[in-house]
Structure 1
Amino acid sequence: MKEGGYRLSKPSKSNRNLSDGLVVSIITVVYNGESYLEHTIQSVLNQTYKNIEYIIVDGGSTDNTLEIIKKHEDKVAYWRSEPDKGISDAFNKGIAFATGDLIGIINADDWYEPDAVSSVVAKYKPGIVLHGNLQYWKEDGSRGMNVSPNANLLKQEMTINHPTVFIDKEVYHKLGSFDTSYKFAMDYHLLLRILHAGVPFIYVNKTLANMRLGGFSSNWIDSYRETKRAKEEILKPSLKHHAVYLWQVLRRRASESMENSPLSFINEFYRRHFSPMRKM
Structure 2
Amino acid sequence: MHELKISIITVCYNAESTIERCIQSVINQYYSNIEYIIVDGASSDATFNIINRYKGHIQLMVSEPDGGIYDAMNKGIAMATGQVVGMLNADDVFADNGAVGAIAAAFEKKDNDILYADLNYLKQNGSIFRKWRSGYYKEGIFNKGWMPPHPTFYCKRSLYELFGNYSPDFGTAADYELMLRFIHVKKASVFYLERVVVNMNTGGVSNNSYLGRIKVLFLDLKAMYKHGLKFPPIALLYKRLSKIKQFF
TM-score (norm 2): 0.88
Aligned-partner Cα distance in 2 for 1:156–1:184 = 21
Structure with bigger RCO (C-alpha 8 Å, 6+ apart): 2
Match of 1:58 among 40, 43, 64: 40
CA contact (8 A) 2:39 2:72 kept: yes
Aligned-partner Cα distance in 2 for 1:96–1:189 = 19
Match of 2:98 among 115, 120, 132: 115
- Matching residue of 1:204: 193
Shift of 1:248: 6.1
Shift of 1:87: 1.2
What's the C-alpha RMSD, in Å, of the aligned pairs? 2.1
- Matching residue of 1:271: 244
Quick one: structure 1 residues 246 and 118, their matched pair in 2 at CA, closer, same or farther if it must change by over 3 Å? closer
Aligned-partner Cα distance in 1 for 2:4–2:187 = 23
**Unmatched segments (≥5 aa) in structure 2:** none
Match of 1:225 among 212, 218, 235: 218
**Unmatched segments (≥5 aa) in structure 1:** 1-18, 253-269, 273-277
Q: Which amino acid aligns with 2:3?
A: G
Aligned-partner Cα distance in 2 for 1:214–1:197 = 31
Q: Deviations over 1:56-115 (max 9, x none)?
A: 000110000010110001110010111111111001000000000000100100111211
Shift of 1:126: 4.5
Alignment of 1:21-170 (within 5 A): 21-113=3-95, 114-124=97-107, 125-126=110-111, 128-150=113-135, 151-152=137-138, 153-157=141-145, 159-170=147-158
Q: Which has the larger radius of gyration?
A: 1
Aligned-partner Cα distance in 2 for 1:247–1:145 = 18
Aligned-partner Cα distance in 1 for 2:238–2:116 = 26
Residue-pair matches, total: 237
CA contact (8 A) 2:146 2:239 kept: no
TM-score (norm 1): 0.79
Q: Deviations over 1:157-215 (max 9, x none)?
A: 35211111111111111111101212110000000000110101210010000111238
Shift of 1:135: 0.9
Aligned-partner Cα distance in 2 for 1:271–1:227 = 18
CA contact (8 A) 1:225 1:245 kept: no
Aligned-partner Cα distance in 2 for 1:170–1:143 = 35
Aligned-partner Cα distance in 1 for 2:116–2:237 = 28
Q: Identical aligned pairs, as a percentage? A: 35
Aligned-partner Cα distance in 2 for 1:20–1:191 = 27
**Dislocated runs of 4+, deviation >2 Å:** 150-159, 213-217, 242-249
- Matching residue of 1:5: none
Quick one: structure 1 residues 217 and 248, their matched pair in 2 at CA, closer, same or farther if it must change by over 3 Å? farther
Quick one: structure 1 residues 224 and 24, their matched pair in 2 at CA, closer, same or farther if it must change by over 3 Å? same
Q: Does 1:171 align with 2:159?
A: yes
CA contact (8 A) 1:126 1:168 kept: no
